Amino acid sequence: MTESLQSGLLVEAFDAQLFRENAETVLSRLEKHVADLSIRGLELTDPARLRRAARALMTTERDRPAPFDEERLAAIVDLYIKTGIQVHSPGYMGRQFSGVVPLAGVIDFVSSVVNQPSSFYEAGQLPNVVERIMADELNRFIGWDPGTFAMITTSGGSLANLTALLAARNRAFPGVWARGSSELEGPARPAIAVGDDVHYSVARAAGILGIGEDRIVRLPLDAARRIDVARARPVLDAAERQGLNVFCLVASAGTTSVGAFDQLDELAVIARERDLWLHVDGAHGASLLVSDKLRPKLRGIDQVDSLAWDAHKMLFVPAPCTLLFYRDAKASLGAFRQTASYVFDEQQNIYTALDSGDKNFECTKRPMIMTLWTLWAIYGQALFAEKIEYLCQLTQDAYALVEKQPDFETVHVPEANIMCFRYRPDWLEEKDVAAFQVAIRDRIKGGGNFFISKVDVDGVAALRVVMMNHQVTTEHFQMLLGEIRKAGQEK
């Protein structure tokens, strides 16, 4: 009876031969996309127009599965590629995500087809094993004693920051998980200390945790836009006098705005003095650890309590793939405290010991570690180190070029691969500087050759480039400066 209810079109949709044909159709277009190194930026499409185009590609069949249409599939893929940010182009200098190493995309495709959620060993055996392998591999650059630390993967740096702050809060206020936010009230109100350039996800986490944005203690920055260690202690002392109980200090390894690296070794001293959990948002910059040349930027990383590290930024794998490290393996159990007999076994065995569902928010989690581990297994550390070092050197070279231009100004010395600057022709009035930079950014984006971003530095907008593509050269950056000058002359 059940067999008669299955139409031939249902069976066709799962057919292995059709799957191969689908893959070949998509692969031919992706190959062309990756090979296209022309200079192109972001072509923004009117949303209403894009909606009509997407609607036109949808079958009108409602009563039964529609027959497969290869032309429709090809058109969908073409539209998808065309309307995205062209991360493989030398014109792409705008954001912190990268064109992936193509092999990583292939492995992500495998993960999508075999569909092995990886929070539990029985559902994703290899992902759980290689997660432990990659933890050990990357800890060689962090420096914790083997067997004493823990690492889990999670979906993005924002969720990693939230998870680490949950663990820190629960350590400081162990009753809050069971009894709720009433445990956070009292004469000493819980608070989090952050650098003034901290990522917005930390402020969000404070709200979610019941701490509140008003209890975020913002530490002043030095000239390099790092937490000013000399002025941090007085600010923390003032917070204590105001009745705030700071339990966690959040530092940055590569701030989103300018790519600044806080002095982790010196902040660790402050954290030890005051019994603070020291968390590092290294979503962007932690990847410099894999480079022998650049690793000193994170001096003191072995002294922190937790570290968020986005592999989908500077390790060039598909998003999301975030690694959350804890110096103390036991601390990784502090973020969540549930019992659920359908997934959690009270008595561990050699299989359930590798489960991570009790340590990360997701129950169903993509096997994101597979892309990173496969690249590491095939190419090794040097692939990543070489690209990262090139991008950082390219940014230094771009900075030197801007410094020589009389009509441009730099606003910081780049520490990695993010650089912010302003176009300031001599006729530009001071009151118009900020709005002019935004207008330049918009005109560059509209021109279709380059994609750059903007950020406010000291309250004034600046142009921002993020070097994520090793196909970009100083010649491409000089072309960008020419486009900026041209855009500045438009009325």
pLDDT at 12: 86
Residue 1: pLDDT above 60?
Answer: no
Same domain (yes/no): 202, 188: yes
Q: Among 415, 417, 413, which Cα is nearest to 390's?
A: 417
Q: Within 95-197, where are the H helices? A: 102-114, 125-142, 157-172, 176-179
pLDDT at 350: 82
User: Could you report the per-residue pLDDT of 309-367, keeping only the tens digit for each?
Assistant: 999 999 999 999 999 999 999 999 888 865 544 445 667 788 777 777 778 888 888 99
The CATH number assigned to the domain holding 478 equals 3.90.1150.10
Find out whether 25 and 70 touch, Cβ atoms under 8 Å.
yes
User: Could you report the per-residue pLDDT of 238-285, keeping only the tens digit for each?
Assistant: 999 999 999 999 999 999 999 999 999 999 999 999 999 999 999 999
Q: Does residue 98 belong to any structural domain of this protein?
A: no
Q: Does residue 410 belong to any structural domain of this protein?
A: yes
pLDDT at 342: 41
Q: Are strands 150-154 and 322-326 parallel, antiparallel or unpaired?
A: antiparallel
Q: What is the mean pLDDT of residues 180-206?
A: 84
The CATH number assigned to the domain holding 142 equals 3.40.640.10
Q: What is the mean pLDDT of residues 162-178?
A: 89
- pLDDT-wise least confident of 86-90, 92-96, 205-209, 344-348: 344-348
97 or 71: which leads in pLDDT: 71
User: Could you report the per-residue pLDDT of 55-84, keeping only the tens digit for each?
Assistant: 999 999 988 889 999 999 999 999 999 998
360-380 residues labelled b (16+ CB within 10 A) or e (exposed):
bbbeebbbbbbbbbbbbeeee
Residue 380: pLDDT above 90?
Answer: yes
Find out whether 146 and 167 touch, Cβ atoms under 8 Å.
no
Q: Does residue 90 belong to any structural domain of this protein?
A: no
Same domain (yes/no): 158, 305: yes
Distances (CA, A) of 234 to 108, 216, 329, 362: 48, 15, 32, 39
Reduce the DSSP state of residue 440 to 3 states and report it. Answer: helix
180 or 408: which leads in pLDDT: 408
Same domain (yes/no): 278, 320: yes
Which tokens hold the place of 73?
Answer: 């599939």
Q: Does residue 93 belong to any structural domain of this protein?
A: no
pLDDT at 187: 66
Cα separation, 120 vs 339, in Å, equals 15
Structure-token match 């780049």, residue found: 414
Q: What is the mean pLDDT of residues 400-415?
A: 97
pLDDT at 353: 79
Same domain (yes/no): 80, 157: no
176 or 346: which leads in pLDDT: 176
> What is the share, in percent, of the chain residues with pLDDT greater than 70?
95
Same domain (yes/no): 37, 136: no
Same domain (yes/no): 223, 301: yes
Find out whether 436 and 423 touch, Cβ atoms under 8 Å.
yes
Residue 183 pLDDT class (50, 70, 90 cuts): low
Cβ atoms < 10 Å from Cβ of 23: 12
Structure-token match 């569909």, residue found: 115
Which tokens hold the place of 464?
Answer: 């921002």
> What is the share, in percent, of the chain residues with pLDDT greater than 90?
76
Name the DSSP class of 83.
T
pLDDT at 272: 97
154 or 181: which leads in pLDDT: 154
Q: Does residue 96 belong to any structural domain of this protein?
A: no
The overall average pLDDT reported for the chain is: 92
Q: What is the mean pLDDT of residues 429-435?
A: 96
Q: Does residue 216 belong to any structural domain of this protein?
A: yes
Same domain (yes/no): 392, 478: yes
Which tokens hold the place of 351?
Answer: 């299989």
Distance between the two ends of the chain, CA-based, in angstroms?
Answer: 72
pLDDT at 96: 92
Q: Does residue 458 belong to any structural domain of this protein?
A: yes
Of 84, 105, 128, the one marking the end of a domain is 84
Q: Does residue 105 belong to any structural domain of this protein?
A: no
Q: What is the mean pLDDT of residues 115-127?
A: 87
Query: How many domains is the chain partitioned into structurally?
Result: 3
Residue ranges making up the domain that contains 440? 382-488
How many CA atoms lie less than 13 Å away from 289 in the CB half-sphere? Answer: 25
Same domain (yes/no): 130, 60: no
Element (H, E) at 307: strand 306-310
Of 32, 61, 84, the one marking the end of a domain is 84
Cβ atoms < 10 Å from Cβ of 199: 22
Dmax (CA) for the chain in angstroms is: 82
Same domain (yes/no): 163, 43: no
